[in-house]
Amino acid sequence: MIPRVAMFGTGYVGLVSGVCIADFGVNVICVDVNKEKIDGLNNGKIPIYEPGLDVFLERNIKAGRIQFTTDSKKAIEESDVLFIAVGTPPMENGEADMQYVYAVAKTIGEHMNGYKVIVDKSTVPVGTGQVVKKIIADKLKERGVEYEFGVVSNPEFLREGKALYDFTHPDRVVIGVESKEVAEIMKKVYRPLYINETPFIITNIETAEMIKYACNAFLATKITFINEIANLCEKVGANVQQVSKAMGRDGRISPKFLHAGPGFGGSCFPKDTKALVQIAEKHGVHMSVVSSVIEANHRQKKMVTEKLEKVAGDLKGKTIGILGLAFKPETDDMRDAPSLTIIPDLVEKGANIRAYDPQAMDEAKKILDKYADNINYSKHAYDAAEDVDALIIITEWHEFRNMDLTLLKKIMKGNIFYDARNIYSRKDIEEKGFVFIGTGV
Ligand code: NAD
């Protein structure tokens, strides 16, 4: 029998997971407390920008395999496997805020009507599986009912912008369980992957929870490592792109996550590195590498304005064009994006901003509201370059990779071209009469 799935949370992870699991031939009910999101989805409106999501969604709506509701009770009663994919944002002190995960656990306990498997897909501190289990058990006791249930940790590794591909072609599926029977149910949910020999790594719950933090902290470390090498390259006349290329050819290192830039951002690395440090502190372990990564990454973002100042001089009254606001291309996600450090830094130095992003401007406007008087949101990339003293590429969207340099030179007032992502060569830019700033090149 194919298990029926309920997916709590229709954000970047929940919506993609729900749609992809439906695509595996499973009936899925997606639940969210945000009525506007659910009403939108029921009217064919996708709340996030994720390439390919529209195609998957339409296909599965047509097949009658996916529904959207705010009715948790109905979703719980009509499903066998209940996924929790709600947010775990950072609190002031860096700890993950678990209120949304616990709220779902409570709701499940309130409405459970038989055997269920509860799967945590959110990134959560080690030990959360046991807390979720207790919340549900306490609720059942309060109701005076006895139902068995299994708890699973099934962390998600998808990348925004490539989420559909990643979910359907994962390097591995991690399943943390307490019994073989529950692992078998999970294999049924993921059957198309399982029969196609995707590695399934079955562990205990705590190990699965730890795997997610270890992966994200390692990738964040790799990015930070190459950023620091880039900073040194600038001082000694070396080229970080060639260093990365040579490092990446070493099979023990791999070329991925070795691109120097203005620091990592996004909804995962910043919060998960901080949460890992907090979890470790609670257990009396000092994570010196990850703590340094957090600090170095902060410095990397601040450095963009400092480097510009060194070349442009006082930024007071200058206009800076910004290309790219989202934390990476192919997403509208602005969470912890480097632009959110760089733009305020520039404005505080007295600069005015002309900014453009193909997808993230609505979100950016909300977050940067405090700086609205100093930011002009442009219609397109060339509009953002009009009359500016300097242009900075913060996010490497494809459309910024092959711009008409002659036109740019003509429409810009100044001649500083700051390519924070190293998508242009110094030689090409300098040949056009610009002063080039890169990251370690
Ligand atoms: P998100 O903020 O985009 O979405 C969370 C959704 O949960 C929102 O729509 C919210 O309304 C909903 N929600 C909150 N409380 C709810 C409740 N009680 N019942 C039902 N829905 C509820 O978050 P996200 O980016 O999808 O991240 C979700 C989790 O997945 C986080 O723990 C994150 O760390 C992890 N993760 C994210 C990514 C990523 O790239 N975004 C990748 C891997 C893992």
Q: Is any ligand 1 atom within 6 A of the Cβ of residue 34?
A: yes
Is 83 assigned a ligand-binding role in the annotation? no
Residue 68, pLDDT score: 98
- What pLDDT score does 282 carry? 95
With a 6 A CB cut-off, is 31 part of the ligand 1 pocket? yes
265 lines ligand 1 (CB under 6 A): no
Cα(120)–Cα(38) distance, rounded to whole angstroms?
21
What is the percentage of the chain residues whose pLDDT exceeds 90? 99
Q: Is residue 253 part of a domain?
A: yes
Are both 291 and 431 inside the same structural domain?
yes
Which of the residues in the chain have pLDDT under 50?
Answer: none
Q: CA nearest 276: which of 336, 234, 214?
A: 214
Q: How far is the CA of 122 from the centre of ligand 1 (A)?
A: 7
Closest protein CA for atom 12 of ligand 1? 9
Provide the domain count of the chain: 2
Q: Is residue 212 part of a domain?
A: no
Predicted confidence at residue 349, as pLDDT, reads 98
Residue 434 assigned ligand-binding role:
no
Q: Which residue, 176, 203, 230, sits at the end of a domain?
A: 203
Structure tokens given for 77: 């009663």
* 130 and 100, same domain (yes or no): yes
Asked whether residue 393 falls in the same domain as residue 282, the answer is yes
Q: What is the pLDDT of residues 236-251, one digit of tens each?
A: 999 999 999 999 999 9
Number of C-beta neighbours around residue 317 at 10 A = 9
Q: Which of 140, 169, 203 is the last residue of a domain?
A: 203
Question: Is 160 a known ligand-binding residue?
Answer: yes
What ipTM was estimated for this complex? 0.99
Between the CA of 248 and the centroid of ligand 1 the distance, in Å, is 33
Say if residue 161 is in the same domain as residue 112: yes
Query: Would you please indicate which residues are annotated as catalytic (active-site) residues?
Result: 268
Could you tell me if 181 and 239 lie in one domain? no
CATH code of 111's domain: 3.40.50.720
237 within domain boundaries? yes
CA dist., res. 66 & res. 360, Å (int): 27
- pLDDT by residue (tens digit) across 35-62? 999 999 999 999 999 999 999 999 999 9
Vertex 423, ends 412 and 344: CA angle to 5°? 60
Is there a single domain that holds both residue 297 and residue 229? yes
Write out the H or E segment, with its range, that includes residue 353.
strand 352-356
Is 37 close to ligand 1, i.e. is its CB under 6 Å away?
A: yes
- Cα dihedral value 393, 399, 402, 407, nearest 10: -80
| Co-location of 124 and 23 in the same domain | yes
Query: Angle formed by the axes of helices 269-282 and 205-236, to 10°?
Result: 120
Tell me if 219 CB under 6 Å of ligand 1.
no
Domain hosting residue 177, numbered range: 5-203
Q: What is the model's pLDDT at position 300?
A: 98
426 labelled ligand-binding: no
